[in-house]
Amino acid sequence: MRPVLVMAAYSFRMFLRDRSALWWGILFPILLMGLIGDVFGKADRLSFDVSVVDRSGGTYVPATAIKEELRAVPVFQVREEPGDEALAALKDGKRSLVVVLPEAAATRPYTVQVFYDESRAQVSQAALAIVQRVVDQGNLRLAGAAPAVAVDARGTSTRRLGMFDFLLPGIMAMTLMQSGLMGVTWVVSTYREKLILKRVLTTPVPPAVFYAGLVARFTAVNLFQVAVIFLVATFAFHARTVGSLAALALLSIVGSVCFLGIGFAVSAVSRSAEAANNLGSLLNFPMMFLSGTFWPREMIPEALQPVVAALPLTPLVEAMRGVGARGEPLTDFLPGIAYLIAWGTAGFLVAARYFRWE
Amino acid sequence: MVAVHGVSFTVEEGEIFGLLGPNGAGKTTTLEMLEGLRRPDAGRAVVAGVDVVADPQGVKARIGVQLQQAGFFERLTVEETLRLFASFHRRAADVNALIARFNLGDKRKALIQNLSGGQQQRLSLALALLNDPQVVFLDEPTTGLDPQARRNLWEAIGRVRAEGKTVILTTHYMEEAEALCDRVAIMDRGRILAIDTPRALIRRYAPGAAISLRLDGDRAVLEGLPGVRRVEDRNGEVVLQTDAAQETLAAVMELTRGEGAELYHLSVREGTLEDVFLNLTGRSLRE
């Protein structure tokens, strides 16, 4: 046990003396989080500026009814303004939609015109869908039909999830993964390439103990990294975490050890440090973008969903987000965690099978 | 590929035993098998009373190893490196004493990457002595060092023997083997060709002397001189390998007087381990 602890303690000093490790492990995730949060945070607040141009002059009842319905939509900021001003504002990106209510209908049906910005398709489509729904409901009511089917939508969280609340667990999980796939692979294969591993093996310390020391080292470093990221996100970006911090720490340890196992496997099967680095990146990048770290996995195209489900980072992100941001119990995520542990175990087995010091 | 074949030798307690041979002779592979790092395909070796194949960890606990060109943890200091490796051993010598002994006192807090080659080599030797071993293995301990640093290291290795430890080293420098080793095994192409003290090897395999000279005139006549076994050309100088130095020298003098040939430079030296290797293999150590 002593070699493991000494190894972990000295390795931690090595980490603190390694600027590139500090950059990749701490600064890079924080910058990434800040950047993504800033860019997508606005869309996330899900508020649409809608202009209503009422050509009926407030005299036509259906027009007034629609206007009121639009006002009642919680995510719509509705304002009335003259047509040319509204269209100019739309062009400048200051409005999401411009809804034009014509004069009393000369023709049937009474046609509401909606202008949107084609270059901002996502925002426009979402807002359009809402307008469409408002009109549909209006039609039903005019026809006097009682709705046969209704949707009672309730958010699962008691409060709305902010962009940073959502991002923080994903970034923490990503950092754990990168430490395993990029950090460990580089360190371990460099130890082998520079014969440092061979030097260690001239002592009676068994390889497994040396590797246990590395696991302890990287896990300690990882906890330090995610703690720094957590504090920065909480105090600088105002990310809110509602769940148990102990559960988050436990998930961080499990994630850390599992990705270390995968990292050890990558370095064991790679010929050189360079090759290990390349293979690590090859696994790193798809996970970074497909595992739901930055955006909900539902946003990823259907064709890629099997890949998303197979990646070991996906269950870690889901568990950390569920526990951290939504305050769900850890036990809800046991199958996913078991899947991740299976990956980690496979990694350690492969690493042991292909272990060599030269 | 067979790196080492049918190698067999015994090292006495408290001696410095050298494996001398060119690069690729199988010296390092032989050491790695004795150190418990590499499992031999066949054969048996006992180090400090422990069977290497059956109990490599037991051997590692009793030996100290200095590796050729093995790296260090770059972001650790000298002292941290020693303390880390000390934790890998069950019993460890006093780190401070080792630092003092190898003159690393002012480098104690220096990162490894800021050490000179000689300092790194001294640290490497200190690491090999961390567990107060019975047997110390040194693989090419002075390769890449300047002459001064090499001499310092020879002294340090001599002190290791003085403590009663057994030293087994490899080298491809014949001066090193001659200066340092009690006994030397000449190794080439995975086999041991001869084992003995340097003096005895020279007496047996390079008994004569080498006379080198620079001569204007026909060289062919040199071959017929008394005692001459072989005539070689080394960097423009003619080297006569002779079994009877005195007679050959007299004949050379006679030659220059009689034929009017001009003699520029003349030196006589006794046989060396280099000559031993040459006579055993027909090739030079440096090839």
**A14 and B CB contact within 8 Å:** yes
Rounded-to-integer distance, Cα B272 and Cα A88, Å = 98
Rounded-to-integer distance, Cα A18 and Cα B74, Å = 10
Q: What is the mean pLDDT of chain A?
A: 86
Tens digit of each residue's pLDDT (9 = 90 or more) over A310-341: 999 999 999 999 999 988 999 999 999 999 99
Pairing outcome for strands A113-116 and B166-171? unpaired
Tokens representing B270 are 């006794």
Task: Kindly state the helix (H) or strand (E) to which residue A98 belongs, with its residue range.
Answer: strand A97-101
Asked whether the predicted pLDDT for residue B129 surpasses 60, the reply is yes
> Which of A156, A148, A213 is CA-nearest to residue A11?
A213
> Which of A225, A230, A255 is CA-nearest to residue A168?
A230
Asked whether the predicted pLDDT for residue A157 surpasses 70, the reply is no
**B89 and A CB contact within 8 Å:** yes
> Which of A130, A157, A24 is CA-nearest to residue A71?
A130
> Which of A253, A232, A230 is CA-nearest to residue A180?
A253
According to the model, what pLDDT value does residue A24 have?
83
DSSP 8-state class, residue B111: B
Crossing angle, helix B117-128 and helix B147-162, to 10 degrees?
Answer: 10
Provide the shortest C-alpha distance from residue A358 to chain B (in Å).
11
ipTM over 0.85: no
Rounded-to-integer distance, Cα A204 and Cα B57, Å = 5
- The greatest distance separating any two alpha carbons of chain B, rounded to the nearest whole angstrom, comes to 75
User: In this complex, do B80 and A200 lie within 8 Å of one another by their Cβ atoms?
Assistant: no
DSSP 8-state class, residue A159: S
Task: Kindly state the helix (H) or strand (E) to which residue B167 belongs, with its residue range.
Answer: strand B166-171
Write the Ramachandran bin of A66: left for phi over 0, alpha for psi from -120 to 50, otherwise beta: alpha
Rounded-to-integer distance, Cα A202 and Cα B37, Å = 7
Contact yes or no for B212/B231 (Cβ under 8 A)? no
Cis status of the peptide bond prior to A109, with omega within 30 of 0: yes
Average pLDDT over residues B193-211: 90
Tens digit of each residue's pLDDT (9 = 90 or more) over A265-318: 999 998 888 899 899 999 998 898 899 888 888 888 888 899 999 999 999 999
Pairing outcome for strands B50-51 and B209-215? unpaired
User: In this complex, do B57 and A204 lie within 8 Å of one another by their Cβ atoms?
Assistant: yes
At residue A113, what are phi and psi to the nearest 5 degrees? -95, 135
User: In this complex, do A198 and B67 lie within 8 Å of one another by their Cβ atoms?
Assistant: yes
User: In this complex, do B60 and A204 lie within 8 Å of one another by their Cβ atoms?
Assistant: yes
Q: Which residues of A touch B76 (CB under 8 A)?
A: 10, 13-14
Tokens representing B154 are 């020879």
User: In this complex, do A195 and B71 lie within 8 Å of one another by their Cβ atoms?
Assistant: yes
User: In this complex, do B70 and A2 lie within 8 Å of one another by their Cβ atoms?
Assistant: no
Contact yes or no for A257/A344 (Cβ under 8 A)? yes
Contact yes or no for B46/B9 (Cβ under 8 A)? no
Which of A7, A202, A217, A356 has the highest number of chain B CBs within 10 A, making it the mutation to test binding with B?
Answer: A202
DSSP 8-state class, residue A333: G
Please give the share of chain A, as a percent, with pLDDT higher than 90. Answer: 33
Contact yes or no for B34/B218 (Cβ under 8 A)? no
Tens digit of each residue's pLDDT (9 = 90 or more) over B65-103: 998 888 899 899 999 999 999 999 988 889 999 999 998
| Closest Cβ opposite residue A6 in set B58, B60, B87 | B87
At residue A116, what are phi and psi to the nearest 5 degrees? -140, 170
Contact yes or no for B189/B7 (Cβ under 8 A)? no
Where is mean pLDDT largest: A24-38, A101-115, B51-65, B201-215? B51-65
Provide the shortest C-alpha distance from residue A273 to chain B (in Å).
14
Tens digit of each residue's pLDDT (9 = 90 or more) over A220-269: 999 999 999 999 999 988 888 888 999 999 999 999 999 999 999 999 99
Nearest CA in chain A to B81: A10
Nearest CA in chain A to B83: A6
Q: Which residues of B touch A202 (CB under 8 A)?
A: 35, 37, 60, 65, 67
Crossing angle, helix A313-324 and helix A245-269, to 10 degrees?
Answer: 170
Alpha-carbon separation of residue B9 from B18, B34, B64, B163 (angstroms): 11, 12, 20, 23
Tokens representing B8 are 């067999």
Pairing outcome for strands B166-171 and B16-20? parallel
Contacts of B93 (CB under 8 A, 6+ apart): B86, B129, B130, B131, B132
Torsion of CA A115, A120, A125, A131, to 10 degrees: -40
| Closest Cβ opposite residue B60 in set A14, A203, A357 | A203
Q: DSSP string of B123-165? A: HHHHHHTTT--SEEEEESTTTT--HHHHHHHHHHHHHHHHTT-
Rounded-to-integer distance, Cα A11 and Cα B84, Å = 10
Nearest CA in chain A to B138: A202
Residue keyed to tokens 């004493």: B97
According to the model, what pLDDT value does residue A256 have?
96
According to the model, what pLDDT value does residue B157 have?
92
**A206 and B CB contact within 8 Å:** yes
Q: Which residues of A touch B34 (CB under 8 A)?
A: none
According to the model, what pLDDT value does residue A46 have?
63
According to the model, what pLDDT value does residue A89 have?
87
**A19 and B CB contact within 8 Å:** no
**B33 and A CB contact within 8 Å:** no
Q: Is B49 helix (H, G, I), strand (E, B) or coil?
A: coil
Asked whether the predicted pLDDT for residue A357 surpasses 90, the reply is no
User: In this complex, do A10 and B76 lie within 8 Å of one another by their Cβ atoms?
Assistant: yes
Provide the shortest C-alpha distance from residue B130 to chain A (in Å).
10
User: In this complex, do B80 and A13 lie within 8 Å of one another by their Cβ atoms?
Assistant: yes
Provide the shortest C-alpha distance from residue A27 to chain B (in Å).
20
Confidence of residue B246 (pLDDT cuts 50, 70, 90): confident
pTM of the model: 0.74
Q: Which residues of A touch B69 (CB under 8 A)?
A: 195
Tens digit of each residue's pLDDT (9 = 90 or more) over A144-153: 776 666 666 5
According to the model, what pLDDT value does residue A77 have?
84
DSSP 8-state class, residue B88: T
**B20 and A CB contact within 8 Å:** no
According to the model, what pLDDT value does residue A207 have?
86
Nearest CA in chain B to A201: B37
Where is mean pLDDT largest: A3-7, A89-93, A243-247, B283-287? A243-247
Contacts of B239 (CB under 8 A, 6+ apart): B210, B211, B212, B231, B232, B233
CB burial string B81-92: b at 16+ within 10 A, e below: bbbbbbbbbeeb
Rg (CA), chain B: 23
User: CB count, 10 Å around CB of A336?
Assistant: 18
Contact yes or no for A358/A272 (Cβ under 8 A)? no
Tens digit of each residue's pLDDT (9 = 90 or more) over A170-191: 999 999 999 999 888 988 889 9
User: In this complex, do B76 and A14 lie within 8 Å of one another by their Cβ atoms?
Assistant: yes
According to the model, what pLDDT value does residue A160 have?
63
By CB neighbour count within 10 A (0-12 exposed, 13-18 middle, 19+ buried), where does A121 fall?
A: exposed
User: In this complex, do A10 and B37 lie within 8 Å of one another by their Cβ atoms?
Assistant: no
Asked whether the predicted pLDDT for residue A155 surpasses 50, the reply is no
Which of B32, B50, B76, B84 has the highest number of chain A CBs within 10 A, making it the mutation to test binding with A?
Answer: B84
Give the type of residue at B50. V
Tens digit of each residue's pLDDT (9 = 90 or more) over A89-116: 888 888 888 888 888 766 677 888 888 8
User: In this complex, do B131 and A203 lie within 8 Å of one another by their Cβ atoms?
Assistant: yes
